[in-house]
Structure 1
């Protein structure tokens, strides 16, 4: 059974949710709940569930639905199969070529089709995704223009300075309102990382768990511009973060700090939460600046 790119993404998201929630053997995976959390219709979710059942990850009861065949924390082999690279290899290749200065500021679809040996329909899907993520735009009449992205150590640090300014501000916003259900889910996922998940989770899983927490807190601010800004920054730094995480440096301390921020929010001490969030982002900036410099240098040598 082969999967479409959408079905592959949904399958990956189901595995990710099960692992981040540290689900136990026998826990039920409801189609409607998964569709809502992933943000898709139930059709691709149903296909993904059947695929995972065929793989032995899930068991299917025709009357009751799908259930985990083994604990989610034992799905390391399955996770690696789906998380070694992002959804679209062409996306990753174009991004890395741009980081390495192998692509000019302006490119044409014809040149990219020849360079990567792909059909126009496949290329346009990837270019549209890049346009949505804010680092590529279509030129009037002809070609595509690359926009500024995190392609240097300076840009990487700038992204952290920006986040340190905007994310704590969101926590102190008059419209900030924490969702208790989401808070419990975030806390459970971060605790899983602290308890050893950081040793077995893939680089993509680690990044997605991180971005989910920061974007959820930004959403609680009630300020659409803060949420949009945090989401866009996460997308722009995703490629660098994926590559850094492959070094398998423990993310346990990062998750411990996340838990402290969530605890402060849960106790409604928003001033403390904002301070902890700012310290967390500043600490991450200092810790990652050196590894980002190594990554950028290695990329330029490729």
Structure 2
């Protein structure tokens, strides 16, 4: 089986952004939860990273970090031979694009999908497993797959941002809100990485996931499980639309600066101001939605 190399790259990025130290255990289920994928592709990626020498493996215990990950992410990934986009990732984005353009039936058989995209049975399982894990496809009872129509139009993207606009600023005002210093610094480092050139060099996956992790980190700090579950559900599905807007990356410079401003306010425990800044940040995205909607049109 050929592992999804994008998962291995995302694990390396997590090791860097979370400052995981040499000798630390890397539990597969915890990584799967963080990356919002099933455990199977994570296990495959861990085996691959073990084969590349980045991890050690102990019987009945799992995988452990064998060496520090200090160099820039792109250099680490390239040095391990993971830089080339694998077929699973390429077809994942192609299916999303075809679905958005109305060129792929909402109900499709596995045979049709294999032939259309030139996949083996194993590769198709990897692609569909990733899509199903993100919530925009499910297996039909007995035959084929159904792709969700949720968040496949500019109107539905607008609705998702309205939901976020209602919930995310409120999360910062929850009485139990507590953003740990480690999380704050991790978020700040991720934004600085983008401003230092990552906006141009990161993959669509990496760019999307950095934004998702920032917003989910703030909501998770609220300690309110209902807020957290709702935002994570929206984020799993909105990838289907948001990655297409990355064709115009200039707007991310402003997004990063707004994120850094919000973090600075939270660091000073000025949550009321941070909540309003987050509201304005999301409103700015809504105001730019007409431009995004044009990108989404077939």
Label 1:8 to 1:251 Cα distance change in 2 as closer, same or farther (>3 A).
closer
Label 1:233 to 1:181 Cα distance change in 2 as closer, same or farther (>3 A).
same
Equivalence for 2:35: none
Q: Which runs of 5+ in 1 are unaligned?
A: 54-63
Q: Which runs of 5+ in 2 are unaligned?
A: 33-38, 55-64
- Note the C-alpha offset of 1:125: 3.4
Equivalence for 2:166: 165
Equivalence for 2:179: 178
Aligned to 2:168, the other structure's residue is in SS state helix
Aligned partners of 2:6 and 2:86 also within 8 Å: no
- Note the C-alpha offset of 1:101: 0.9
Aligned partners of 1:31 and 1:45 also within 8 Å: no
Q: 2:191 matched to 1:190?
A: yes
Aligned partners of 1:138 and 1:144 also within 8 Å: yes
- Note the C-alpha offset of 1:34: 6.0
Counterparts of 2:222 and 2:185 in 1: how far apart (Å)?
17
Aligned to 2:67, the other structure's residue is in SS state strand
Label 1:245 to 1:29 Cα distance change in 2 as closer, same or farther (>3 A).
farther
Q: 2:99 matched to 1:107?
A: no
- Note the C-alpha offset of 1:42: 9.0
- Note the C-alpha offset of 1:73: 7.2
Counterparts of 2:12 and 2:162 in 1: how far apart (Å)?
33
Q: Which is further off, 156-165 or 120-129?
A: 120-129
Aligned partners of 1:168 and 1:274 also within 8 Å: yes
- Note the C-alpha offset of 1:294: 2.5
Where do residues 54-203 of structure 1 align in structure 2 (5 Å cutoff)?
A: 65-67=66-68, 71-72=71-72, 75=75, 78=78, 82=83, 88-203=89-204
Counterparts of 1:43 and 1:73 in 2: how far apart (Å)?
20
Label 1:274 to 1:154 Cα distance change in 2 as closer, same or farther (>3 A).
same
Where do residues 223-234 of structure 1 align in structure 2 (5 Å cutoff)?
A: 223-234=224-235
Aligned partners of 2:138 and 2:147 also within 8 Å: yes
Where do residues 11-22 of structure 1 align in structure 2 (5 Å cutoff)?
A: 11-15=9-13, 18=16
Aligned partners of 2:216 and 2:231 also within 8 Å: yes
Label 1:184 to 1:174 Cα distance change in 2 as closer, same or farther (>3 A).
same
Counterparts of 1:270 and 1:167 in 2: how far apart (Å)?
12
Label 1:117 to 1:148 Cα distance change in 2 as closer, same or farther (>3 A).
same
Where do residues 197-216 of structure 1 align in structure 2 (5 Å cutoff)?
A: 197-216=198-217
- Note the C-alpha offset of 1:104: 2.1
TM-score with structure 1 length normalisation? Answer: 0.75
Equivalence for 1:292: 292
- Note the C-alpha offset of 1:35: 5.7
TM-score with structure 2 length normalisation? Answer: 0.76
Label 1:193 to 1:117 Cα distance change in 2 as closer, same or farther (>3 A).
closer
Equivalence for 2:282: 281
- Per-residue CA deviations over 1:255-279 (Å, capped at 9, x if unaligned) read 1111111122222222222111111
Aligned to 2:24, the other structure's residue is in SS state helix
Counterparts of 2:259 and 2:5 in 1: how far apart (Å)?
31
Aligned partners of 2:88 and 2:127 also within 8 Å: no
Aligned partners of 1:198 and 1:250 also within 8 Å: no
Equivalence for 1:57: none
Aligned partners of 1:29 and 1:65 also within 8 Å: no
Label 1:223 to 1:86 Cα distance change in 2 as closer, same or farther (>3 A).
farther
- Note the C-alpha offset of 1:87: 5.5
